[in-house]
Chain A
Amino acid sequence: KQEVTQIPAALSVPEGENLVLNCSFTDSAIYNLQWFRQDPGKGLTSLLLIQSSQREQTSGRLNASLDKSSGRSTLYIAASQPGDSATYLCAVRPYSGGGADGLTFGKGTHLIIQP
């Protein structure tokens, strides 16, 4: 059974810092990996999606990497801003369903950016 772990569980840093969120998964047979942010009282917003054949994806100040063989992904946030404060979730989709199965989520990293 796939298990996804996110470290740290919570992080508080001053505005402007670069930071790294970590995600690990136990079964490397994944179709893709997706990073989301969740704001209080709202649903999930997709940030980045990395296919199993890819090594990284970038969107603005965000960069996500994937090392499938070691079961790890990182989300790098550059020049953090107070608006980045949210819970960040990592999720993997299994390869077995041909990309049609649901996601397995980590518990998330609760990020606070101090102004």
Chain B
Amino acid sequence: SAVISQKPSRDICQRGTSLTIQCQVDSQVTMMFWYRQQPGQSLTLIATANQGSEATYESGFVIDKFPISRPNLTFSTLTVSNMSPEDSSIYLCSVHQRTSEKYNEQFFGPGTRLTVL
């Protein structure tokens, strides 16, 4: 299974600033996913990032607010821009891998816990 690391693990930020979250995978993957988990809520997909192309955003999420980079097959960043307290969430990086028995099994990083004051 893929091993995913994220930096930072947590941060406390001021309103109006931006934070860039890094995601590193120990193997090459075609697609990387960014999810958000607001307090007491389920995980919601923000966008899908393919190497060498623009990220695809889900309804309700826009590139200006959540710019994503995908410079190679093992790394991606998500920036939360012009933050407000409503952006306080856990942000999770995810990939899926096809194995011999399990198709497109999803794996997640440990998450970045963001608090905006």
Contacts and interface: CB of A to CB of B under 8 A. Distances in A.
A43 B106 contact: no
A32 interface: yes
B108 A102 contact: no
B110 A102 contact: no
A41 B107 CA distance: 16
Nearest to B111: A43
Interface stretch (A13-21, A69-77, A78-86, A105-113): A105-113
User: DSSP majority for the B interface?
Assistant: strand
Contacts of B106: 34, 46, 91, 93, 103
Interface residues of B, number: 26
Nearest to A52: B103
Contact of B110 (A4, A36, A42, A51): A42
A49 interface: yes
Interface residues of A, number: 25
Given A102-B33, A105-B43, A43 B108 contact: yes
6 contacts: A32-B104, A42-B111, A43-B111, A51-B103, A102-B48, A107-B42
Given A34-B106, A42-B110, A44-B108, 13 more contacts: A32-B103, A34-B105, A43-B4, A43-B92, A43-B111, A44-B92, A89-B42, A100-B104, A102-B48, A103-B45, A104-B45, A105-B43, A108-B42
